[in-house]
Amino acid sequence: MTTQTLLIGISGVSSSGKTTLSRLLRDIFPNTFVLHEDDYYWSDNQIPFKNGVQDWDCIESIDVVGLQKSLAYIKQHGSTPTDLVSKEDQNSVGETKVDEQVVRRWKERMQKRMQKENMDDLKIAIVDGFLLFSQNMEEVWKQMDVRLFLRTNYATAKRRREARSGYVTLEGFWEDPPGYVDDIVWPNYVKEHAFLFKDGDVDGEIAHEACKALALDVMPRECEEDITACLEWACEIVRRAVEDAVNHGNA
């Protein structure tokens, strides 16, 4: 088969488990790497302010054009741009309470499957970011072959975000000031994602037609506090995408 690159987008509110899931999938599926939207933040002095506080959770804080160009490069070459140096891998995602037996089972299964089909030319790029599926990010999400949306309720997102020590930035280190989730993170999430939920209630039911229009696979509610269940859900979707790519390549 000729070289193919699958782009897998994983998005959701800050602290929804995007990076944890991305790294687990990277370890399970051969020829897989991760691109972090957070590596496309503008420099620290270019981050906009909201009510006297820097707003790291708005679309204006991201070099969207740079991200678009990187995705196009990845789609063509099957690798990240040569000049990209990730700072995101310096940030901790905390303890991962995943069932290691499930990880091993999926890893063995996919390694055998891809070796059997001689799929060395199939590359998988996982893109994780908090704003990938915003209506204002169409030029980004339309490049994705698979789109996984991790819904997370307010209480869980707040608890996880406030448990973090901070984030490495281009020029230093950021720590959330008191009230940051309520004043910045959650309102921005609601603003950019309300259209995906019935009546705009992001803690409520999914608006199926809106999600269908974006071809989103939405994480089931029972996976919200269960990383193993979330991983199994995501692995099955990515497995099907890999199978489709193989079948298309052999057609």
Q: Which residues are catalytic?
A: 38
Nearest-angstrom CA–CA distance, 156 and 65: 31
Q: How far apart are CA 111 and CA 143, in angstroms?
A: 26
144: left (phi over 0), alpha (psi -120 to 50) or beta: beta
Residue 8 in contact with residue 146, Cβ under 8 Å? yes
Token pair of 247, please?
Answer: 């079948």
CA pair distance 152, 221, nearest whole angstrom: 8
By the 8 A CB rule, do 192 and 61 touch?
A: no
DSSP 29-54: STTEEEEEGGGGBPPGGGS-EETTEE
Asked whether the CA dihedral 245, 247, 250, 251 is positive or negative, the reply is: negative
Nearest CA to 128 among 32, 243, 236?
A: 32
Half-sphere exposure of 189 (CA within 13 A, CB side): 27
What distance lies between CA 136 and its chain's CA centroid?
16
